[in-house]
């Protein structure tokens, strides 16, 4: 009995000591998304950060990818914004306009800022005040992956750089030839399996529209009617509808990978740079990386990824920034990101990634960043822009009329802008 | 009639005077329910009606919140997608009522017999109803997989390859039907329990009397069981309809309203407007409309069934 009492005393005093310890520490909260690998990596970075800064306690708030913006809205409503938050670059304008984020230039280590690539700066910059609000280790892109065996079988030309990308005619001829080739079940996987509610649709299919010579919204007048429902966009979406109708595209319900799946049922893949690691593991030398085709005068690729920002309500912006700088410089974290074929957003990180260097297997993806990348519209109405566009694509891919679908989407976008009085000051940026 | 009324009101007055203390007691007992209903039902409804007439965004914004009168309602009625959603939910309801209630009724009749392990079986049949819909959806999502999912393999095997794989969730023609299948399977346990309770409420004497009168099993079912279950039928019908109109989880997890808006439902449409596009005022308008629609349907059902002397 006496022994038990003693033990409980020891335990409770130990507990009290931990509490006292926790009370002295400054806590910063970090809201993030990511697959289990990344979540584990963040946890380890935090441990190292806490070891280097014993008075800081880093607390993570995980929000799953698919419902991230909804969860973020809930945090805003509950006035429980974290100090540091990860955000998807195209939503930055909305967050800054709504007043949630603070400029981070004065807070982040200067050597990290100087290290940023142009496209990384672009994705974190708010177009109105041209200030930097978020930063990341990485950026992103989409390329056309090809199965070398199949491409050689149909005698396809293999482009060596962005400049000699396939034209629309070439691309469609190849799709047709591939559809008749033995072993090919679907000529192309456009990763429809990511679903119709994720950013994937706007991110990966938007550039096809832009390549064809139109856009989701006019980026000067900030009006969608006349742009998204223009002939060029209608034609581009009708072209994609034809691929689907012909059975050339892996259907949504077949899952997220038919390209490097066993037996390689899909010959081409319109996939993110993150697909590379798994694809090369499965396909070895049989994998070729091609630039995105020119559906009109030029090839267009997407950019932008999940980047780190500091909220306006943060009580410890200096510590928050210290954590972000620490994260971006952390060697083991960088090694992990590199192993996931992370797309460099810092020059020093690019130097560490032979994958993206000249002559590297993903060099074309990195070449696209400077030559063909077009950011998604940096406008506070972006949540509606992307939602309306996804709706239209789903409609069209399942047999709907492209013009009708795009007209509806354009109307919806303009209506949202009107409802918010033009999102001043965006409305006087003519 | 008049006489009767005045007597009863007089007696009520007498009771009232005699038991003032008791009235207070009753009020005190009612108070928690009334307060809870007010706080969680009446006030939120009034608030959402109020919000529906503004351009309230989900999260605070720099632009002012304005009163827009009935604009949100008008806009909802002008949106084709809303009508598609309403049509889809109606379609769903039309299918799910016979499927789910029929299944529940049949199982309840079966499990009302004196079978061995009756309670164990009841528990087993009730199990899906208490399993989280999210879990059920994830599992069925795998079963539905195209082209190699178990359902397609079974169909292919049974038909000797004559039936081509069906894209259960990816084909606009099939998606809603697939969701009906899954929903009926997941939720019929609840209706089954209600039916079982109803069956147990029918006095055995009625069956005995029917037997003595020479009624066969079918006649006993038709003339004793069915009339005895009338209130249960009404309850099940109304509850199932209301549940059906709230269809959301299955759609949110499996199809996100697609393909080609064939599984878009009113609640999913509302959540999309409110949380993705951050238009709280608009979403509130949709919720008010949904409330009114469900209310009207419930009232009509009640009236119709009252006519059949329930």
Min Cα separation B60/chain A (Å): 7
Interface of A with B in 24-83 (CB under 8 A): 69-70, 73, 76-77
Min Cα separation A185/chain B (Å): 12
DSSP 8-state code for residue A196: S
Residues in chain B: 310
Buried b (16+ CB within 10 A) or exposed e, A161-179: ebeebbebeebbebbebbb
Contact A398 B55 (CB under 8 A): no
How far is Cα B143 from Cα A317, in angstroms, rounded to an integer?
48
| B172 contacts on A by Cβ (under 8 Å) | 398-399
Min Cα separation A355/chain B (Å): 35
> Does residue B165 belong to the interface with chain A, where contact is any CB pair within 8 Å?
no
Structural contact between residues A361 and A341, judged by C-beta atoms closer than 8 angstroms: no
DSSP 8-state code for residue A67: G
pLDDT along chain A (430 residues), means of 10: 59 56 78 92 95 94 85 86 94 92 94 92 92 94 95 94 94 96 94 87 96 95 95 96 95 87 94 93 94 95 94 94 95 92 90 88 90 92 92 92 95 91 80
Q: DSSP string covering A293-362, please?
A: PBSSSSB-B----EEEEEBTT-S-HHHHHHHHHHHHH-HHHHHHHHHTTPEESBHHHHHH-TTTSTTSTT
Q: DSSP string covering A153-178, please?
A: HTT-----SGGGPPBHHHHHHHHHHH
Single out the residue of A411, A383, A376 nearest to residue A89, CA to CA: A376
Structure tokens given for A326? 């620490």
Structure tokens given for B309? 């002397």
How far is Cα B24 from Cα B33, in angstroms, rounded to an integer?
15
DSSP 8-state code for residue A202: I
| B272 contacts on A by Cβ (under 8 Å) | 387
- Count of pairs with CB atoms under 8 A, one residue in A, one in B: 86
Min Cα separation B51/chain A (Å): 15
Tell me the average pLDDT of chain B.
Answer: 86
| A399 contacts on B by Cβ (under 8 Å) | 172, 260
Residue showing tokens 């100087």: A114
User: CA of A381: which chain B residue's CA is closest?
Assistant: B277
| B261 contacts on A by Cβ (under 8 Å) | 391, 394-395
Contact B262 A399 (CB under 8 A): no
- Residues B250-295 have pLDDT tens digits of 998 888 887 888 899 999 999 988 888 888 899 999 999 999 998 9
User: CA of A396: which chain B residue's CA is closest?
Assistant: B260
Alpha-carbon separation of residue B243 from A166, B92, B298 (angstroms): 52, 11, 11
| A408 contacts on B by Cβ (under 8 Å) | 80-81
Burial of A57 (0-12, 13-18, 19+ CB in 10 A): middle
- Closest residue to B260, CB basis, from A255, A394, A423: A394
The predicted structure's pLDDT at residue A283: 95
Min Cα separation B65/chain A (Å): 9
DSSP 8-state code for residue A12: H
Residues 6+ apart with CB under 8 A from B140: B182, B254
| B81 contacts on A by Cβ (under 8 Å) | 391, 408
| B80 contacts on A by Cβ (under 8 Å) | 408
How far is Cα B85 from Cα B71, in angstroms, rounded to an integer?
20
**CA torsion sign, A335 to A339 to A340 to A346?**
positive
How far is Cα B115 from Cα B49, in angstroms, rounded to an integer?
52
How far is Cα A301 from Cα A285, in angstroms, rounded to an integer?
25
Helix (H) / strand (E) containing A373: none
Structure tokens given for A334? 């960088």
Strands A266-272 and A186-189: parallel
- HEC string of chain B? CHHHHHHHHHHHHHHHHHCHHHHHHHHHHHHHHHHHHHHHHHHHHHHHHHHHCECCECCCCCCCCCECCCHHHHHHHHCHHHHHHHHHHHHHHHHHHHHHHHHHHHHHHHHHCCCCCHHHHHHHHHHHHHCCHHHHHHHHHHHCCCCCCHHHHHHHHHCCCCCCCCCCCCCCCCHHHHHHHHHHHHHHHHHHHHHHHHHHCCCHHHHHHHHHCCCCHHHHHHHHHHHHCHHHHHHHHHHHHHHHHCCCHHHHHHCCCCCCCCCCCHHHHHHHHHHHCCEHHHHHHHHHHHHHHHHHHHHHHHHHHHHCCC
Contact B260 A400 (CB under 8 A): yes
> Does residue A129 belong to the interface with chain B, where contact is any CB pair within 8 Å?
no
How far is Cα B55 from Cα A420, in angstroms, rounded to an integer?
8
How far is Cα B270 from Cα B287, in angstroms, rounded to an integer?
7
Residues 6+ apart with CB under 8 A from B54: B65, B66, B67, B68, B281
Point out which residues pair with A272 in neighbouring strands. A142
What is the separation of C-alpha B198 from the centre of its chain, rounded to a whole number of angstroms?
A: 19
Contact B261 A394 (CB under 8 A): yes
Torsion angles phi and psi, residue A287, rounded to 5: -95, 130
Contact A97 B170 (CB under 8 A): no
Cβ neighbour number for residue B182 with a 10 Å cutoff: 23
DSSP 8-state code for residue A291: P
For chain B, first and last CA: distance in Å? Answer: 24
User: CA of A98: which chain B residue's CA is closest?
Assistant: B61
> Does residue A397 belong to the interface with chain B, where contact is any CB pair within 8 Å?
yes
| pLDDT less than 50: residues of chain B | 1-7
List alpha helices for A251-304, DSSP H.
Answer: 276-283
| A423 contacts on B by Cβ (under 8 Å) | 63
User: CA of B57: which chain A residue's CA is closest?
Assistant: A420
The predicted structure's pLDDT at residue A430: 47
């Amino acid at each position: 009995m006496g022994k038990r009492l003693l033990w409980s005393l020891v335990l409770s005093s130990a507990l009290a000591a931990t509490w006292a310890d926790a009370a002295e520490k400054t806590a910063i909260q970090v809201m993030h998304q990511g697959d289990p690998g990344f979540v584990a990596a963040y946890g380890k970075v935090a441990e190292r950060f806490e070891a280097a800064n014993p008075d800081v306690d880093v607390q993570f708030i995980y929000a799953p990818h698919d419902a991230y913006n909804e969860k973020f809205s809930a945090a805003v409503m509950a006035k429980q914004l974290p100090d540091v938050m990860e955000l998807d670059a195209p939503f930055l304008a909305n967050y800054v306009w709504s007043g949630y984020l603070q400029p981070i230039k004065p807070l982040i280590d200067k050597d990290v800022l100087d290290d940023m690539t142009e496209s990384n700066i672009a994705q974190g910059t708010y177009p109105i005040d041209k200030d930097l609000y978020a930063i990341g280790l990485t950026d992103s892109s989409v390329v056309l992956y090809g199965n070398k065996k199949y491409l050689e079988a149909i005698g396809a030309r293999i482009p060596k750089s962005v400049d000699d990308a396939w034209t629309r005619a070439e691309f469609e001829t190849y799709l047709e030839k591939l559809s008749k080739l033995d072993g090919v079940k679907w000529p192309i996987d456009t990763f429809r399996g990511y679903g119709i509610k994720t950013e994937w649709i706007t991110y990966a299919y938007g550039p096809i529209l832009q390549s064809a010579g139109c856009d989701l919204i006019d980026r000067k007048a900030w009006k969608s009617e006349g742009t998204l429902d223009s002939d060029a966009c209608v034609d581009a979406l009708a072209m994609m509808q034809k691929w689907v109708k012909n059975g050339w595209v892996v259907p949504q319900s077949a899952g997220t990978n038919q390209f490097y799946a066993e037996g390689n049922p899909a010959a081409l893949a319109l996939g993110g740079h993150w697909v590379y690691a798994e694809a090369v593991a499965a396909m070895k030398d049989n994998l070729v990386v091609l630039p995105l085709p020119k559906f009109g005068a030029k090839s267009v690729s997407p950019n932008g990824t999940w980047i780190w920002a500091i909220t306006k309500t943060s009580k410890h912006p200096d510590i928050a920034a210290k954590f972000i700088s620490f994260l971006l410089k952390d060697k083991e974290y960088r090694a992990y990101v590199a192993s996931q074929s992370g797309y460099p957003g810092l020059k020093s990180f690019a130097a560490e990634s032979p994958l993206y260097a000249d002559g590297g297997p993903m060099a074309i993806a990195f070449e696209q960043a400077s030559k063909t990348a077009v950011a998604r519209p940096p406008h506070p109405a972006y949540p509606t822009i992307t939602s309306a566009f996804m709706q239209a694509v789903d409609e069209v891919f399942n047999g709907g009329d492209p013009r009708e679908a795009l007209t509806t989407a354009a109307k919806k976008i303009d209506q949202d802008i009107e409802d918010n009085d033009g999102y001043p000051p965006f409305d006087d940026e003519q | 009639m008049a006489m009767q009324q005045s007597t009863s009101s007089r007696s009520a007055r007498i009771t009232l005077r005699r038991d003032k203390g008791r009235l207070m007691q009753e009020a005190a007992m009612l108070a928690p329910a009334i307060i809870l209903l007010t706080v969680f039902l009446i006030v939120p409804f009034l608030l959402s009606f109020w919000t529906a007439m503004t351009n309230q965004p989900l999260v605070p914004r720099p632009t002012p919140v304005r009163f827009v009168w009935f604009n949100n309602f008008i806009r909802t009625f002008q949106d084709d997608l809303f009508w598609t959603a309403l049509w889809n939910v109606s379609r769903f309801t039309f299918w799910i009522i016979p499927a789910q209630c029929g299944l529940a009724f049949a199982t309840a009749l079966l499990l009302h017999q004196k079978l061995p392990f009756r309670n164990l079986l009841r528990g087993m049949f009730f199990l899906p109803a208490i399993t989280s819909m999210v879990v059920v959806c994830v599992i069925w999502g795998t079963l539905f997989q195209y082209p190699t999912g178990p359902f397609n393999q079974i169909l292919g095997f049974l038909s000797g390859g004559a039936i081509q794989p069906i894209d259960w969730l990816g084909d606009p023609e099939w998606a809603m039907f697939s969701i009906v299948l899954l929903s009926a399977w997941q939720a019929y346990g609840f209706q089954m329990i209600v039916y079982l309770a109803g069956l147990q409420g029918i006095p055995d004497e009625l069956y005995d009397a029917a037997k003595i009168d020479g009624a066969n099993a079918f006649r006993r079912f038709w003339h004793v069981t069915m009339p005895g279950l009338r209130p249960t039928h009404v309850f099940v019908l109304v509850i199932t309809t209301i549940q059906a109109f709230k269809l959301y989880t299955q759609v949110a997890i499996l199809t996100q309203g697609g393909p080609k808006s064939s599984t878009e439902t009113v609640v999913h449409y509302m959540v999309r407007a409110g949380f993705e596009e951050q238009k709280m005022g608009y979403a509130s308008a949709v919720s008010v409309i949904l409330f009114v629609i469900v209310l009207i349907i419930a009232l009509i059902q009640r009236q119709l069934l009252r006519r059949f002397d329930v």
